[in-house]
Structure 1
Amino acid sequence: MFEKVNPAHPDKIADRIAGALVDLAYKSERNPRIAVEVLIGHGTCHIIAETSVQLSIDDVTAAVHRIAGFLNVDYSEVPQDVHLSRNQSGAIRCGDNGIFKGVPVTAEQKELVSVATDIYNAYPFDGKYIIDNGRVIICQSNAKADHLREIYPAAEINPLGDWTGGTDVDTGATNRKLGSDMADSVTGGGLHGKDLSKADVSVNIYAWLKAQETGKPVQFCCAIGDETVGGIPYEEIVETARAYIKSVGGFEAFAEWGLV
């Protein structure tokens, strides 16, 4: 059983905005410290950013308007906590506590991701897709249901009928669709809106990559300040995650579909 949402889902819009702000921070510093929370809906985007890098309100507003349309932007920026900043002084140390489990992606999950991607390319609007032991449910807004039934005759298409979707119908919040982003993998935190020092980002990515590589679940546990996680230097984990984020096009692009 697996649910996938596309980049136009309100929660993913929130993730993408948070990722865009992290990208802005990385343009200023190689290793910024930033954590962004986004709540969006019904004409307004609320953002709280705890950051070591001051972001231009013009750049923040431009990112929101580019991703979500011309909404009112309520932006609050505060510096990172002094104790958390001190933890990162002088070495690459784990920036959070957590438990993490990477799990190989199944053929069924890959199939649903392919379906979601194909539909989104045709209908770039709010959509959600579910697969459960062969049962496929497609909920795609602003779509021609008859067209989708022709392509996916065995699927259930828009069970509630036509709908418009988006942030005027629903609200979105950062990291609310981790099941869509990680499938069977498990995290004690959130993937989006955070810099690479956060275990929520780097250890999750590292565990997921190792699970795909080995074909077996991979588990880690860490405490804030750790310089190794599971016997692996934390700096190595961070650099592996950095390379992955770069390979997909940055934090905003990563937020579009997550790890799966």
Structure 2
Amino acid sequence: MYEKVNPAHPDKIADRIAGALVDLAYAQEPDPRIAVEVLLGHHMCHIIVETSTHLSAETVESIAHRIAGNLALNYTEVAQDAHLSDNQRDGFRCGDNGIFKGMCITPEQKELSRIARSIYDRYPTDGKYILDGDRLILCQSNAPADELKALFPQAEVNPLGDWTGGPDVDSGATNRKLGSDMADGVTGGGPHGKDLSKADVSVNVYAFLKAQETGKAVELCCAIGDDTVDGRPYAEIVEICREYIHSVGGFEKFAEWGLV
């Protein structure tokens, strides 16, 4: 049983804005320290950023409008806590406490991810999907139900009828769709809107990649300041994650679909 949402879902719009701001920070510094929280909906977007590099309000507004449409913006920027910044002064050390789990992607998860992407390619509007054995449920705003039925005759399409979807009728928040992004690997830390020093990003991605490589579940824990995780230098784990994020096109692209 698995649920997937697409990049136009309000929660994913929030993740994408957060990811785009992290991309912006990396364009300004090789290794910024940044954490972004986004809450949007009903013609309003609230963004709070803790950052080591200043992001201009005009650029932040442009990014939010590009991804979410013409929402009013409330932007707050503050410097990252000095104690947390000092933790990284002499090189990468674990930026947070955490328990992390990497799980192999199942055939069911792969199939629903494929279905979700194929629908979004045709109808790039808010959508959410569930696959439970032979039961397929498709909720896709602004897409003709008869066309979806023709594509997936076995599916239940918009069970309560047509719906509008999007941030004008719903709210979205950063890291609220971890089940969609991480499947069975869900833990307490969300991977979006943060730089690579944060364990929520690097250790989550590392555990996921290790599970796919070994075919076994991976469970890891770490504490703020650790310089080693899973017997490897934390700096090495950061570089593994950096390469992965680069391979998918950056933090904004990573936020579109997550790890699955």
Quick check: TM above 0.5? yes
* CA distance in 1 between partners of 2:137 and 2:36 (Å): 32
Shift of 1:220: 0.7
Could you say which residue in structure 1 is the equivalent of 2:90? 90
Match of 1:173 in 2: 173
Q: TM-score, normalised by structure 2?
A: 0.99
Q: Deviations over 1:111-142 (max 9, x none)?
A: 00000000000000000000112211000000
Please list the CA deviations of residues 147-173 of structure 1 after superposition, one character each: whole Å capped at 9, or x if unmatched.
111111111000011111000110000
Cα distance in 1, alignment partners of residues 43 and 124 from structure 2: 20
Q: Find the counterpart in structure 2 of residue 125 from structure 1.
A: 125
SS of residue in 2 equivalent to 1:75:
strand
Partner of 1:35: helix, strand, or coil? strand
Q: What residue ranges of structure 2 are gaps of 5+ in the alignment?
A: none
Question: 2:55 aligns to what?
Answer: 55
Q: Deviations over 1:25-69 (max 9, x none)?
A: 000111100000000000010000000010011110010010001
Runs of 4+ with >4 A deviation: none
Q: Distance in 2 between matches of 1:130 and 1:22?
A: 30
Q: Does 1:232 align with 2:232?
A: yes
Q: Percent identity?
A: 72
SS of the counterpart of 1:99? strand
Report the alpha carbon displacement of residue 188 of structure 1 after superposing the two structures with TM: 2.1
Q: What SS does structure 1 have at the residue aligned with 2:19? A: helix
Does residue 31 (structure 1) correspond to residue 31 (structure 2)? The answer is yes
Give the counterpart letter for 2:223 in structure 1.
Answer: A
Q: How many residues align structurally?
A: 260
Q: Residue 248 of structure 1: CA displacement? A: 0.4
Q: 1:10 maps to which residue?
A: 10
Partner in structure 2 of residue 106 of structure 1: 106
Secondary structure (helix, strand or coil) at the match of 1:159 reads coil
Residue equivalent to 2:136: 136
Would you say the 8 A contact 1:205–1:241 is kept in 2? yes
One-letter amino acid of the structure 2 residue matched with residue 139 of structure 1:
C
Distance in 1 (alpha carbons) for counterparts of 2:230 and 2:105: 22
3-state secondary structure, aligned to 1:189: coil
**Equivalent position amino acid for 1:240 in 2:** I
**Which consecutive unaligned segments of at least 5 residues does structure 1 have?**
none
* RMSD (Å), alpha carbons: 0.6
State the alpha-carbon separation in 2 of the partners of residues 117 and 108 from structure 1: 14
User: Taking structure 1 as the reference length, what is the TM-score of the superposition?
Assistant: 0.99
